[in-house]
Structure 1
Amino acid sequence: MASRGVQHRCVSHLTVCQIDRKQDGTPGRSLWCRSPTIVAPEVPLPRHSAIPPPVASAHDVYAPGHLGELMQVIAPQLVDAVLEETGARERRVRLLPARVVVYFVLALVLFERSSYQAVWGKLGAGLHGIAVARPCASSLSRARRRLGAPLRRMFEILAGPVAARAQSGSFYRGLRAVALDGTTLSIPDAEAVTWRFPKHGGPVLEFGYPLLRLVALVECGTRALLGAAFGPDSTGELGYARRLLPHLDASMVLLADAYYDAYDFLEAVTGTGASFLLRSTPKRRPTVRRPLPDGSYLTTVCAGRYQAGRGYGRLEVRIIEAWMTIELADGTRRTELWRLMTSLLDAESYPAHELITLYHRRWQAETCYFSLKSTVLDGWVLRSRTVPGIEQEVYALLTVYQALVRTADDLVTAQPGLSAERVSMIVLPNAAADQIVAAHGIAPAGPVGLVGAIGRIALAGLLPKGRRRRLKARVRKRNSKYTFTTGKHPRKAQAYALHFEMIKEGGLDTTNGG
């Protein structure tokens, strides 16, 4: 019997999938997928495809397995390939196949306020004429436990830089700017969880929710995730940051806060070939080895301990010291001293005033966490009450976020001159959730364009041009451990202006009278 090819192009992460069907609608040849990080093996399609035929009224166990228009990023062929690779694919067809459960877990992220059954109802709400199963909450919970951890592999495939060379805000003199920072997520206070994620407390009293520490490597400009590591907050940010070093290479410059200026970490970053620009702690009092014409100077950072056969390790760095003044729209001014440390030693190729401006892009990591915690999660505690469930939920959160970022990148590609920073990360999740309820975009009738329904809604709600507003991720808390910052951050987002004045004579310690 003759067959015809139906091509589906997943434009957002450059995955091209080929499905051949016979004239009677049954699968013909096997499918293949091509992406930057994975080549899917040949996986035979089940009898019922995740993308239903144009006319269908029979019971279809795969029909609820969709994510609306986001299936252009997270295609069913990609999900099947990941399930096959991780060994999570079922051996017999169930009422809740593994592929459907993957999409269900991802949909939970976009409907944080809804219960299991309510989210399942939203997945089937737009499937008119198709009978779907109506599992109870306990069945959906057991299906999540059976699924295991393919969401981790899914995130690893989607993670990565998305900015093109011509995109503003993502590159500095040919180097891709990436920011490294950490945050915490609140998780349920359950005995099945606290053994792994202990609560904070003293000798007598424990308080607050258990916390999960998350450290991510973020591409500046697009806020795309290159990688992420998480675990108990008893491990510091440096411990998780070292797991992200394989994502760095010689084409990148790493921006980080003062917490990351440890010698061992800087040596490891240098070993990847990447450059770094970070803020140094006040504890360091570097000696001026060689002054440079722009007011910066060269010095060396030494290891804190002696190593047999190597002595005290030394790393040559460049120090930039300046007075930084931030002026908000309401007239509030704050001035403080900054000491920046960088491995970009050439003052002519990398002027000091440009590096000061570049370092301020590090705040886009905070903007990323604001989107994750305050927009997508809406400040809620994670819903899973087991350690494997929490890990699965966090990877689902990161996967959905990265899919939204890739959707925003499609808009930048389709609209030359549009900055990714103008695409609202409040509009994107809401638009994606609406497309899930409407079951729109899961079976496109014609060629797939870069701008779909989600893109059109995002273009209609672009943020105004100019500097991004100063945002800091925060969750409503009655008591905060950051009392020393009270009054330093605005209660509402405001436009700001950044001014700096280089310290050229004698260095920062001399200026302070030290």
Structure 2
Amino acid sequence: MVAVMLSGMRKSVQTELDEFFAHLKEQAQLVHHVSEQAFAKARAKLSTTAIPALNDWLVERADADGFVPRWRGRRLVAADASTLRFGRRASHVARAASADQIAFGLYLPGAEMMLAASLHSVHEGERQMLFQHLDRLSGADLLLMDRGYPSRWLVAALNARGVGFCMRVEKAGNAGFACVRDFLRDAADERIVTLAAPDRRDAADYECPATAQTVRLVRHVASTGKVRVLMTNLLDPVAFPAHEFGDLYHQRWRIEEAFKRLKHRLNLEHVSGLSQQAALHDFAAKIVCDNLQSLATGTVLREASLPPTRRINRAAAHSILKPLLPALLLGADIATRLLDALRLIAGRTYSHRPGIIKSKPRVARPKSHKFMNQKPC
């Protein structure tokens, strides 16, 4: 049952089950071996923490095997959230899933893997979601954040835990920190400043010291000419040069690409059930499925000598791996076929021009609902 979910369910449950057993038997014709109702009954007994625990084990193994690179001895972790609108239909299911939810994730840009991810109510803020995941971070990590996260209590909480961070802090008008506005008026490339202590109520709620915090501001001019201000608690200008923070912060964009990949290639918003439990299972399973594809492409990059102008086609990697996942996840002896698949992935590349960044402003528009009957055939 878990192997079926980890293979990346995008279609109707019955079609996915029939394809799974067809791939397991290495035949093209669909095999009707398990019914959709039996799958639903079995899944109802599965804990919602089982698949996230499997992802923790997978990331731990990947890190131990050297798939998670370091920047100056620190593991880069990007934090962000994305709006989800699950496919829906009218039902009377007990504890039905809300159609509108927020997906929060901690992402490893170098490994292209999701460290942790969770679903939240639309009434929760991104900073609150991040606070709930701070125990996943340590002093060996460097947290990358965008402009939705800066706050005095968050800086104090990260400093108290010894977690390094780099966040974008400049805001339009008179919004944001006064020290950041003063820094923008100056011509300096960097400056050490002191933030006021967080409110006592925030300090009590978020378990952080109610004391002033010393941080470092770094000016970065983007390729478009836009001036950004990055705040960090890495104060040593020799160990952490200011000119490296622009490229460092840019790696945060990988989590945006990850959410786009999950939504469009793995159909994250098409759920296989109507309950919140089913939504949690589908969400966690697709995170693991995407991480497995990242490990496969990472293995190819290790072995293949690709020129800097070529990149692995992740869409092709998904199509190549999906027929193999049933046997692979169930421990079948498919070493030869797996090597053939990795060679095939290595041959499916596209042209990439390093140093050329195409900036496309995001168009604000309402997010439409995807209905259950609009899944792929």
Which residue in the other structure is 2:20 paired with? Answer: 123
Using the alignment, how far apart are the partners of 1:254 and 1:260 within structure 2?
11
Instruction: Give the % identical residues.
Output: 20
1:118 CA displacement: 1.6
Superposed, which structure 2 residues align to 1:209-248 within 5 Å? 210-248=99-137
Q: 1:297 aligns with which of 187, 191, 196?
A: 191
Which residue in the other structure is 1:454 paired with? Answer: 341
Residues 418, 249 of structure 1: alpha-carbon distance in 2 compared, 3 angstrom cutoff: farther
Pairing 1:138–2:37 present: yes
Q: Residue type matched to 2:340 in 1?
A: A
Using the alignment, how far apart are the partners of 1:470 and 1:341 within structure 2?
25
Deviations along 1:107-131, whole A, 9 cap, x unmatched?
3x2x413x222222212224169xx
> Which structure: greater helix fraction?
2
Superposed, which structure 2 residues align to 1:1-400 within 5 Å? 101-107=1-7, 109=8, 111-113=9-11, 115-126=12-23, 127=25, 134-149=33-48, 150-160=50-60, 162=62, 170-189=69-88, 190=90, 198=98, 210-282=99-171, 283-286=176-179, 295-306=189-200, 312-326=210-224, 335-377=225-267, 380-400=269-289
1:232 CA displacement: 1.6
Q: Residue type matched to 2:219 in 1?
A: E
Contact 1:303 1:313 in 2 (8 A): yes
Contact 1:435 1:441 in 2 (8 A): no
Using the alignment, how far apart are the partners of 2:95 and 2:26 within structure 1?
45
Which residue in the other structure is 2:372 paired with? Answer: none
1:173 CA displacement: 2.4
Which structure has more RCO (C-alpha within 8 Å, separation ≥ 6)?
2
Residues 143, 418 of structure 1: alpha-carbon distance in 2 compared, 3 angstrom cutoff: farther
3-state SS of the aligned residue for 2:57?
helix
Residues 315, 240 of structure 1: alpha-carbon distance in 2 compared, 3 angstrom cutoff: same
3-state SS of the aligned residue for 1:444?
coil
3-state SS of the aligned residue for 1:376?
coil
Superposed, which structure 2 residues align to 1:407-486 within 5 Å? 407-415=296-304, 422-436=311-325, 443-444=332-333, 448=335, 452-467=339-354, 479-480=365-366
1:383 CA displacement: 3.2
Deviations along 1:138-189, whole A, 9 cap, x unmatched?
222222223343223222222358468998x943323222211111222244
Q: Which runs of 5+ in 1 are unaligned?
A: 1-100, 199-209, 327-334, 482-514
1:266 CA displacement: 2.1
1:297 CA displacement: 0.6
Q: Which runs of 5+ in 2 are unaligned?
A: 368-377
Contact 1:183 1:215 in 2 (8 A): yes
3-state SS of the aligned residue for 2:218?
strand
TM (normalized to structure 2)?
0.78
Q: Which has the larger radius of gyration?
A: 1
1:211 CA displacement: 1.7
Contact 1:256 1:277 in 2 (8 A): yes
Q: Residue type matched to 2:179 in 1?
A: P
Deviations along 1:17-59, whole A, 9 cap, x unmatched?
xxxxxxxxxxxxxxxxxxxxxxxxxxxxxxxxxxxxxxxxxxx
Which residue in the other structure is 1:68 paired with? Answer: none
3-state SS of the aligned residue for 1:260?
coil
Contact 2:95 2:275 in 1 (8 A): no
Contact 1:152 1:395 in 2 (8 A): yes
1:294 CA displacement: 6.5
The number of residues matched between the two structures is: 348
Using the alignment, how far apart are the partners of 1:172 and 1:311 within structure 2?
28
Which residue in the other structure is 2:370 paired with? Answer: none
Contact 2:4 2:326 in 1 (8 A): no
